[in-house]
Amino acid sequence: MPFLRKWLRLSIIALVPTVSALAEQQPDANGTASDKPLSAEELKSAVSIDALTVPTPGEFFKAIGKGGKPNWTSEYRPPISIKSTDRAQMALNLGTLIADGYIAVEAQDGQQVKNVGKDVLALAKKLSVSQTVLARSASITQFAENNAWDQLNEELEATQNEVKKALEENRDTDLISLVSVGGWIRGTEVVTGLVMQNYNAENAKLLRQPAIVTFLKTKLAHLPGRLQKDPLIQNVTRELDDIQKMVSFTADHVPTIDEVKELNTASAKLTKEIGVSQ
| DSSP-H helix ranges across 79-109 | 87-106
Q: Locate the domains of the chain by residue range.
A: 45-275
How far are the Cα atoms of 51, 163, 172, 179, 245 from residue 91, in angstroms, in the given order? 12, 10, 10, 5, 25
pLDDT tens-digit readout, 70-119: 899 999 999 888 888 899 999 999 999 999 999 999 999 999 999 998 89
pLDDT tens-digit readout, 221-265: 999 989 999 999 999 999 999 999 999 999 999 999 999 999 999
| DSSP-based three-state secondary structure for 54 | coil
The sign one gets for the Cα dihedral 217, 220, 225, 231 is negative
Residue 25: pLDDT over 80: no
- Cα distance between the two ends of the chain: 40
| DSSP-based three-state secondary structure for 5 | coil
Please work out, in degrees rounded to the nearest 5, the angle formed at the alpha carbon of residue 9 by the alpha carbons of 223 and 137.
80
Tell me the pTM. Answer: 0.79
For 199, list phi and psi in degrees, rounded to 5: -65, 130
Question: Which of 31-35, 57-61, 162-166 is modeled with the greatest confidence?
Answer: 162-166
d(CA 105, CA 140) in angstroms, rounded, equals 10
d(CA 47, CA 59) in angstroms, rounded, equals 22
- Which has the closest alpha carbon to 204: 195, 214, 217? 195
The residue type of 80 is I
User: Which letter does DSSP use for residue 30 in this model?
Assistant: T
The sign one gets for the Cα dihedral 196, 197, 199, 202 is negative
Q: 255 and 207 in contact (C-beta within 8 Å)?
A: yes
pLDDT of residue 53: 55
- Say what percent of the chain tops pLDDT 70: 78
Residue 18: pLDDT over 80: no
d(CA 139, CA 137) in angstroms, rounded, equals 5
- Which has the closest alpha carbon to 47: 55, 58, 38? 38
